[in-house]
């Protein structure tokens, strides 16, 4: 039977390192759950596993999308489920799979079996709807899908647009197409966390390491290849370096902004993951973290046969 071990938590808590150690002990593969690592060529700024790490343990769901394309949650779910449900390559016991990352929706789509309407973004329709403004859009949503409108804040234009888009393309309310169908295989969810000050130190060190590894050159190359207006270049780490390359700020200011914005992002991640009681939390700074998690993993495997 397939078994899934999830390693989640805020950015810079050491998820990838822990997962690599566990995978080598278990003989497992790693499924990334990171919404930016799916894109090719965005490597340093997304803390993507290095080639050396990928040689140690096979990593999947990274480098599967061109930077100019859009990877939806539905796309991710489809590819992840296909990997999880694929039969073992031999008759030997199938080792557990490790899903690792900080993108909560990616993880939730798998562990809770989210039902996601298979409707691709329709730019022309979105543009027409956006031109009306949220003041008109929200009452429209209340009329065609009052259930969805009840769950969406009146000022949330992103979710309002998506709900209307799904309705006008499929003819069915998005609320009727959503829901959950949890998988029947055992799942262990492990979360890594630490206090805010220590996490801040981790973020600062990782930012310095990214700069040392060549983040500036990576951003410069991507800007030249795809243009500075590529949406991915407006995300964390890339946007700040882009400002530096445009000579709007100094490199030190760019680093300070990356740290600040990463800390704000980590706070949102912590809030998201803390809402799920199924996650078992471990201290990211515990010197015995690997052994404690290993003991929990062994207990999980022994009791889920």
15 is in an annotated binding site: yes
Task: Looking at the structure, tell me whether residues 134 and 103 fall in a common domain.
Answer: no
Provide DSSP, 191-210: EEE--HHHHHHHHHHHHHHH
pLDDT, mean over the chain: 94
**Residue 190 β-bridge partners:** 7, 280
Q: In 3-state terms, what secondary structure has residue 50?
A: coil
DSSP string, 65-110: B-TTS---HHHHHHHHHHHHHSPPSSSS--PPEEEE-S-HHHHHHH
Query: And the tokens for 111?
Result: 């562990």
CATH number, domain of 155, equals 1.10.20.140
Both 230 and 282 in one domain: the answer is yes
14 assigned binding-site residue: yes
- pLDDT (mean) for 240-261: 98
Residues 46 and 127 in one domain: no
Query: Quick one: pLDDT at residue 194?
Result: 94
pTM: 0.86
Give yes or no: residues 78 and 127 share one domain: no
Element (H, E) at 142: helix 134-144
- Of the residues 156, 177, 198, which one is the last residue of a structural domain? 177
Both 90 and 193 in one domain: the answer is yes
pLDDT in tens, 117-142: 878 778 899 899 999 999 999 999 99
107 plus 129 within the same structural domain? no
pLDDT over 90 for what percent of the chain? 86
Name the more confident of 179 and 214.
214
pLDDT in tens, 28-53: 999 999 999 999 999 999 999 999 99
The answer to whether 16 is annotated as binding is yes
Neighbouring residues of 25: CB distance < 8 A, sequence distance ≥ 6: 294
Q: What is the mean pLDDT of residues 55-70?
A: 96
Q: Report the sign of the C-alpha dihedral through residues 199, 46, 73, 120, in that order.
A: positive
Check whether residue 92 and residue 47 sit in a common domain.
Answer: yes
The residues, any chain, with a CB within 8 Å of residue 116's CB and separated by 6 or more, are: 72, 73, 74, 77, 109, 178
- Indicate left, alpha or beta for 179 from its phi (over 0: left) and psi (-120 to 50: alpha): left
The answer to whether the annotation marks 45 as part of a ligand binding site is no
Which residue in 1, 186, 191 sits closest to 95, CA to CA?
1
DSSP 8-class letter at 166: H
- Residue 45: φ, ψ to 5°: -70, -15
Alpha-carbon distance 27 to 212, whole Å? 32
pLDDT of the residue at 94: 77
Q: Are residues 20 and 105 in the same domain?
A: yes
Integer CA distances (angstroms), 196 to 117, 201, 238, 260, 282, in order: 37, 9, 24, 12, 15
Number of structural domains found in the chain: 2
pLDDT at 93 over 70: no
Q: What angle do CA 239, 243, 245 make, to 5 degrees?
A: 115
Least confident of 60-64, 114-118, 125-129: 114-118
Q: What is the CATH classification number for the domain harbouring 230?
A: 3.40.50.300
Highest mean pLDDT among 64-78, 82-96, 108-122: 64-78
Residues 135 and 110 in one domain: no
Examine the domain organization and report whether 194 and 257 are in the same domain: yes
pLDDT at 305 over 80: no
224 known member of a binding site: no
Let me know whether 137 and 242 are in one domain.
no
Residue 127 annotated as lining a ligand binding site: no
Please indicate if the annotation marks 13 as binding a ligand.
Answer: yes
pLDDT at position 232 is: 96
**Among 177, 197, 219, which residue terminates a domain?**
177
Chain-centroid distance, C-alpha 293: 22
Do residues 11 and 105 share a domain?
A: yes
Instruction: Examine the fold and report which residue of 177, 203, 219 is the final residue of a domain before the chain moves on.
Output: 177
C-alpha 48/C-alpha 42 separation (Å) is 8
211 has pLDDT over 90: yes
12 annotated among ligand-binding-site residues: yes
Q: Which domain holds residue 31?
A: 4-114+181-302
């Amino acid at each position: 039977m397939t078994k899934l071990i999830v390693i989640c938590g805020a950015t810079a808590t050491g998820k990838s390192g822990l997962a690599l150690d566990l995978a080598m002990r278990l003989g497992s593969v790693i499924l990334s759950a990171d919404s930016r690592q799916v894109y090719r060529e965005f490597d340093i700024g997304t803390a993507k596993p290095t080639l050396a790490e990928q040689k140690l343990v096979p990593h999947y769901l990274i480098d599967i999308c061109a930077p100019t394309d859009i990877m939806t949650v539905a796309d991710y779910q489809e590819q992840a489920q296909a990997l999880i449900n694929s039969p073992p390559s031999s008759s030997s016991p199938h080792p557990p799979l490790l899903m690792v990352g900080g993108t909560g929706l990616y993880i939730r789509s798998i562990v809770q079996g989210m039902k996601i309407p298979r409707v691709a973004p329709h730019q022309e329709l979105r543009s027409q709807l956006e031109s009306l403004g949220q003041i008109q859009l929200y009452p429209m949503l209340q009329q065609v899908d009052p259930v969805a409108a009840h769950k969406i804040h009146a000022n949330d234009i992103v979710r309002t647009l998506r709900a209307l888009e799904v309705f006008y393309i499929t003819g069915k309310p998005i609320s009727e197409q959503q829901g959950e169908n949890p998988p029947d295989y055992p799942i262990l969810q492990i979360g890594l966390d630490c206090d805010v000050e220590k996490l801040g130190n981790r973020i600062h060190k990782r930012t310095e390491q990214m700069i040392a590894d060549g983040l500036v050159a990576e951003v410069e190359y991507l800007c030249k290849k795809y243009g500075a207006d590529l949406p991915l270049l407006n995300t964390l780490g890339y946007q700040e370096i882009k400002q530096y390359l445009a000579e709007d700020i100094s490199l030190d200011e760019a680093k300070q902004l990356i740290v600040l914005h990463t800390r704000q992002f980590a706070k949102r991640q912590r809030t998201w993951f803390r809402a799920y009681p199924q996650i078992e939390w471990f201290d990211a700074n515990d010197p015995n973290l690997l052994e404690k998690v290993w003991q929990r993993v062994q207990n999980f495997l022994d009791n889920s046969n």
